[in-house]
Amino acid sequence: MKVASFSVRADVRQSARWKQAAEAHGHASVGSWLAEAADRYLDGLKRAGKPLPLAWSKGRLVVRLEDGSEPEVRGWIARPFGLYHGTPARPIPTGSTHYYSLVYLPQRRILATFRYAAHCKALASELARLWVRWGGNEPSEDPAPLLQRFQREDL
């Protein structure tokens, strides 16, 4: 199994409380208790139906345009989603017309185009919440009603 390590800073009061909680819950270390606490927090968000936070970073992504071409474009990535400045027809140079397209990266498929990047990010967060329920796979339920709601709000 692959593992990741994290460093967490705490003040003295937090440290004491975390150590007490870890011991009370039978954990050998604060780290294992924090991991369980974080997982439970994310499960609670999912059960509450709240969008999952996605970490966006600048990067390059490949997108399938309307004409079938698949250029590599600059944009933002939060796997399995990406977004770029442009439409399904073509990328648009920065500083011109404001259109942003949300892409499902595994299929290079454009899901939606909005006037604001924030709308792409919000839709990606909603879709991630849905897809987490399906074990990280694209759900068999139709996302069209969700897409239509976001497109109405973009007007």
Q: Determine the pLDDT at residue 132.
A: 57
Shared domain for 32 and 98, answered yes or no, is no
The yes-or-no verdict on residue 137 having pLDDT over 60 is no
Specify the higher pLDDT residue, 130 or 39.
39
- The DSSP output letter for 82 is E
On whether the CB atoms of residues 116 and 97 are closer than 8 A, the answer is no
Residue 150, both tokens: 């976001």
Shared domain for 78 and 30, answered yes or no, is no
- The DSSP output letter for 86 is B
Residue 93 lies in a domain: yes
The span from the CA of 64 to the CA of 59, in Å, is: 17
Residue 5 lies in a domain: no
User: Closest Cα to residue 78, out of 53, 114, 98?
Assistant: 53
Specify the higher pLDDT residue, 48 or 40.
40
The tally of domains found in the chain comes to: 2
Helix (H, G, I), strand (E, B) or coil at 152: helix
Residue 143, both tokens: 């996302």
Confidence of residue 44 (pLDDT cuts 50, 70, 90): confident
Shared domain for 71 and 107, answered yes or no, is yes
The yes-or-no verdict on residue 154 having pLDDT over 80 is no
Shared domain for 44 and 75, answered yes or no, is no
Containing structural domain, residue 28: 12-48
Cα radius of gyration (the chain): 20
Q: Determine the pLDDT at residue 129.
A: 74
Residue 42 lies in a domain: yes
Shared domain for 36 and 17, answered yes or no, is yes
Shared domain for 61 and 126, answered yes or no, is yes
Which pLDDT tens digit goes with each residue over 101-122? 999 998 899 998 999 999 999 8
On whether the CB atoms of residues 153 and 119 are closer than 8 A, the answer is yes
